[in-house]
Structure 1
Amino acid sequence: MNKLLPLLSLLALPCLPARAQSFTPNLPAVQTTAFRADTFSIVRHGAIPGGLTSNTAAIQQAIDACSKAGGGVVLVPRGQWLTGPIELRSNVNLHVVEGALVQFSSKMADYRLIKTNWEGLAAVRNQAQIYGKNLQNVAITGRGVLDGNGAAWHMVQKGRTPEGEWKKLVGSGGVLNEKQDRWYPTAQSLKGTTIKEAGVLTPEKQSIEDFADIKDYLRPDMLVLDNCQRLLLEGVTFQNSPAWTLHPMMSQDVVVRGVTVLNPPYSPNTDALDLESCKNGLVEGCTFNVGDDAICIKSGRNEQGRARNLPTENFLIRNCKVYRAHGGFVIGSEMSGGARNIYVQNLTFMGTDIGLRFKTTRGRGGLVENIFIDGVSMMDIPGEAILFDMYYMIKDPTPQVAGSKERPVSPAKPVDEGTPQFRGISIRNVTCSGARTAILVRGLPEMAIRNISIENAVLQSEKGLVCIEADDIRLKNVTLRPTSTNPVMEVHNSRNITLDNITYPPAATVLLRVSGAEKAQNVKLVNTNTALAKQAVELGQDVKKKAVTVSKR
């Protein structure tokens, strides 16, 4: 009988100001896993510890026997266990005890190509090291370690590798690219880099055989659970993944609790957790240190994602720590099916490239809304503490010209199904000690980023606020401590901007610069001591004075 985890009772957060929506989660209950007590040890099915003997058949036989008997626990006891890829089954809890190390094969021939999904598109990839499709009531639990042997698959960059290690790597085999600055484990791995959208299914390439010549490039994820219901990942350490680490996809009732993900700092595409088109779930008490994004919300890419039309929705994410990663908490960039009703609480980022990261681009489409974030502490962020960016992987069309108060004009494009939208996002109780930019909001000329609230924040950075192509942005009780104060806050081509009770460094050169004469409208600076700045407001060319209202304390 299924147990229920009522998210409504998990926490009760205080309400936002009357204008904003409450932070109290209004989410459906998550149906959780329940298993029979019957135990199936992999040893009884012939598994041999020691790390020398492949136990793929023995582990798979234990999983299959457990499921066939009505379900229960597949026990991986203490010891080192070598295996190839395995498939989970319904009603099975794969329990990896403390002291158990499951190491996946480094032999690429042990993995087979399958039709699956990669970065939001239908694709051919090597089957995940742990794979499940169309399952119900499935779990991986315990205090043991699962190691993906990812180094066997990864490209390595010379510039990020100590000289001695680089020489040793090159001497071990593999191939170098033309510039001799990147090492690949095989010629197939290198060949894959020369093909645009390698692995993606197209009208010209529809069969698995069409991708055989770049098989080694199509790295497997560590865990994929596709179209499954009632999932539990708890307590286990997943490390050294060849690609994405934990990837529930188009699944429902997902619980990830107390999991650790460890991947090398420069390992490519090694996201920690990718929740793609998933519905109803809880992520709590996890620790991530990876080579790409950490906690990722996705829902398909471009036309395929919009046709799928399955947003990631109804999730509570709380009490997690992220060390190195590209982004700490991330939505996008493959979010074409949308994301909504996501509550985030008590996250800590220590050294992530970007803290809170919302990314998309033209062509994605999709609507991201009703995102509530309360309690994020950050330190040592090389990029932005808070980022909303609709120009992901594209050169900024409106760069600030040195010595100029203006930005170049970026023409709008027609709004269509490929135009993405960010709106209805509330962030509060955030601190950051050290970032390049405290807050960067960069919308499209044809689609402003809308209805963003940031309240109760203390952000130390090089730059303060940069707000471009936005509408209805509200900062309240925000302390900005940028080292560059010319200006502390920049608002360009934006309207309905409220800056309420802003604290900033004394003797700042310019507190607020407003530019973009065509769109600058209803910018309010209220409850702020403007006398501390050498110049309170600086207007760009042709910006009307009435576009900005200053209400002194």
Structure 2
Amino acid sequence: MSRSESIHMKILADLFKILIILATIGRSSWAAMSGSYCKEMGSRTYRPHSVTVTEFGAVGDGVTLNTKAFQNALFYLHSFADKGGAQLFVPAGKWLTGSFSLISHLTLSLDKDAVIIGSTDSSNWPVIDPLPSYGRGRELPGPRHQSLIHGSNLTDVIITGGNGTIDGQGSIWWDWFNNHTLNYTRPHLIELMYSTGVVISNLTFINSPFWAIHPVYCSQVLIQNVTILAPPDSPNTDGIDPDSSNNVCIEDCYINTGDDVIVIKSGWDEYGISFAHPSTNISIRRIVGEAHSGAGIAFGSEMSGGISNVQAEDISLFNSLYGIRIKTSPGRGGYVQYIHISNVVMTNIKTAIGITGLYGEHPDENYDPNALPTVDMITIEGIEGTNIKHAGLLEGIEGANFSNICLSNVHLNVTSKSPWKCSYVQGFSNLVDPESCEPLRDPYQVSTCYAANHIDHCNLVQIV
């Protein structure tokens, strides 16, 4: 290398350092502002009308089916929606029930010793239409089972308690799935659709038949101080799945499941493209989790409506297949862009960072294989990992745009002799150990790395 070339490289190196410092300043500014929109939204909101589920004949013996009691209580409380709202209190006991639907301006509150238990009789979980952004049930063609706690077109809904429990008794559903004897797609524990002003807080969710918490086509959602548990071998028991939703805050949760801890979605292939409801403005903070067959923080694979403006920080992940993962495929279309993930500690993870462009799984044969997804403006920084097998498996799609993937200050204790595997991706890396793969060493990409202060702030409404 000539002297002039050496000077030129030194100037570039100094420039990179300056840009990284500027990005850090921007992040600090964003962090100071982010608290303003992820405040607790009102799990203590006063409701002038309150009833207890026992007033409607419920029996908390763990044997009596209480579906009608929940339904009748909610029907009664509906008349108070325009009078300040109402509360349905679930006292200590074991309350067996089938699926029931919530109403607007409601607080569903569980005593600390209350356990809502899902029936093991599938006939107590009604069959409903598939989501329009999926075109069919996620697991089987046709309709799907309704969630245990359900709601659609609601406003101002709070599901909370003194760390009471919602138990889906999922093992029978997992057996049906594993034995290929399901008639319809499995139900969630909670699914709220087309709803605004949702708080889910201070509860424990266990043994979900499928994904535990699924806000879909929702806005202004706060999920805070929840624990979600399912056995490590339970199939597809994701923790929290924001889906085609915006202005979502997920904070201070412990999640230990058989699949992804938190995964953001937005519709499946041609149905998601046509429905065109992106997931955007999502904040994820202070999460501890284990994803035995999945990822800690994941995107997709159903992302055809688009995913953008996501901030995840202060994450601790253990005993997982992936730490951070983007899943997509030809036919998805859509995009995953403007993602900023920082301050993550990983322990005993098979692959720390994964991008999968050939995930497969299509709803039917009508998808367009030429609808290629875009993965762009992804910044991952401040990562510490111990007992990591592979640092990164980054596999894009030939002819698609998987670019501006930036890694900074990533330090992984890797056991594999081939820590990185990359194809059809482009980006920048700085202070990465072990050294990243060649496609992420473009020095001219640093100016396009995505900084957290670009994220639009959620505008969550304080419920009073």
Give the shorter-chain TM-score range: 0.7 to 0.9
Q: 2:241–2:264: 8 Å Cα contact kept in structure 1?
A: yes
1:55 paired with 2:66, answer yes
Which one of 239, 243, 247 corresponds to residue 206 of structure 2?
239
Taking the aligned partners of 1:20 and 1:370, their CA distance within structure 2 comes to 16
Partner of 2:164: 144
The equivalent of 1:106 in structure 2 is: 120
What amino acid sits opposite 2:49 in the alignment? D
Tell me which amino acid in the other structure corresponds to 1:361: S
Structure of higher CA gyration radius: 1
The 3 A distance-change label for structure 1 pair 341 and 22 is: farther
Alignment of 1:88-487 (within 5 A): 88-117=102-131, 120-123=134-137, 124-142=143-161, 143-155=163-175, 184=179, 189-190=180-181, 214-215=183-184, 218-325=185-292, 326-382=294-350, 384-393=351-360, 418-461=371-414, 462=416, 463-471=418-426, 473-480=427-434
Distance in 1 of aligned mates of 2:356 and 2:220: 30
Residue deviations 1:219-260 (CA, integer Å, cap 9, x gap): 212111011011000011111111111000010001000011
Q: List structure 1 segments (4+ residues) > 6 angstroms apart after TM superposition.
A: 25-28
Using the TM superposition, give the Cα deviation of residue 29 of structure 1 relative to its aligned residue in structure 2, in angstroms: 4.7
Task: Check whether the contact 1:385–1:438 (CA below 8 A) recurs between aligned residues.
Answer: yes
TM-fit CA distance, 1:73: 1.5
Give the direction of change, closer, same or farther, for the CA distance of 1:127–1:234 in structure 2 (3 Å limit): same
Deviation (angstroms), 1:478: 1.7
Contact 1:348-1:376 within 8 A present in 2 as well:
yes
State the shift of 1:83 in Å. 1.0
Work out which of the residue numbers 45, 58, 76 in structure 2 matches 1:65.
76
**3-state secondary structure, aligned to 2:242:** strand
Q: Partner of 1:168 in structure 2?
A: none
Alpha-carbon distance in 1 for matches of 2:359, 2:392: 16
Q: Name the CA distance, whole Å, in 2 between partners of 1:357 and 1:432.
A: 15
Residues in 2 aligned to 1:111 and 1:226: alpha-carbon distance in whole angstroms: 17
Q: Contact 1:35/1:91 (CA < 8 Å) preserved in 2?
A: no
* Structure-1 separation of matches of 2:332 and 2:356: 13
Higher helix share: 2
Overall identity of the aligned pairs, in %: 30
Partner amino acid, structure 1, of 2:245: C
- One-letter amino acid of the counterpart of residue 407, structure 2: I
Q: What letter is aligned with 2:335?
A: L
Displacement after TM superposition at 1:63 (Å):
2.1
Residue 19 of structure 1 deviates from its aligned partner by 7.0
* Number of residue pairs the alignment of both structures matches: 402
Give the distance between the partners of 2:444 and 2:420, measured in 1 at CA.
10
Say whether the 8 Å CA contact 1:35–1:93 is kept in structure 2. no
Change (3 A) 1:73 1:495: closer
Distance 1:393 1:322 in 2: 26
Q: Cα distance 1:119–1:238, how it changes in 2: closer, same or farther (>3 A)? A: farther
CA distance in structure 1 between the partners assigned to 2:430 and 2:299 by the alignment: 23
Deviation at 1:75, TM superposition (A): 0.5
Rate the CA distance shift 1:54–1:275 in 2: closer, same or farther, 3 A: same
Residues 64 and 422 of structure 1: CA distance in aligned 2, closer, same or farther (over 3 Å) = same
> 1:98 Cα deviation (Å)?
0.5
Contact preservation (8 Å) 1:35, 1:92? no
TM-score (norm 1): 0.68
Matches of 2:254 and 2:69, distance apart in 1: 31
Letter in 1 for 2:61: G
1:286 CA drift (Å): 0.5
Name the SS of the counterpart of 2:347 in structure 1.
Answer: strand
- The corresponding residue for 2:450 is none
Q: Please give the root-mean-square deviation of Cα atoms over the aligned residues, in Å.
A: 2.6
SS, match of residue 442 in structure 2:
strand
Could you tell me whether the CA contact under 8 Å between 1:119 and 1:334 is conserved in 2? Answer: no
Deviations 1:356-380 (A, max 9, x none): 0111111101111111111100011
Q: Does the aligned pair in 2 maintain the 1:155–1:268 contact within 8 Å?
A: no
Native 8 Å contact 1:440 1:465 kept in 2: yes
Distance 1:336 1:37, change over 3 A: same
Check whether the contact 1:441–1:449 (CA below 8 A) recurs between aligned residues.
Answer: no
| Kept in 1: contact 2:355–2:395 (CA 8 A) | yes
Instruction: Note closer, same or farther for the CA distance 1:495–1:51 as it changes in structure 2 (3 Å cut).
Output: closer
Decide which of 437, 442, 446 is 1:497's aligned counterpart: 442
Asked whether the 8 Å contact 2:393–2:421 carries over to 1, the reply is yes
Q: 2-side partners of 1:324 and 1:495: how far apart?
A: 27
For the Cα contact (< 8 Å) 2:132–2:275, is it kept in 1? Answer: no
> C-alpha displacement at 1:456, in angstroms?
1.0
Checking the alignment, whether the CA contact within 8 Å between 2:47 and 2:107 is kept in structure 1 is no
Aligned partner of 1:83 in structure 2 is: 97
- Could you tell me whether the CA contact under 8 Å between 1:359 and 1:389 is conserved in 2? yes
Q: CA deviation at 1:39?
A: 1.6
TM (norm. structure 2) is 0.81
* CA distance in 2 between partners of 1:108 and 1:249 (Å): 23
Q: 1:332 to 1:281 in 2, by over 3 A?
A: same
How far is the alpha carbon of 1:30 from its aligned partner? 6.8
Query: Which letter does structure 1 place at the counterpart of 2:383?
Result: V
Provide the rounded CA distance (Å) in 1 between the counterparts of 2:421 and 2:409: 18
- Secondary structure in 1 aligned to 2:291? coil
Distance 1:228 1:108, change over 3 A: same
2:452 paired residue number: none
- Structure 1 residue 428, shift from structure 2 partner: 1.0
**Letter of the 1:84 counterpart:** G
**2:13 is the counterpart of 1:46:** no
Q: Say which is worse superposed, 60-69 or 101-110, in terms of deviation.
A: 60-69
SS of 2:129's equivalent in the other structure is strand
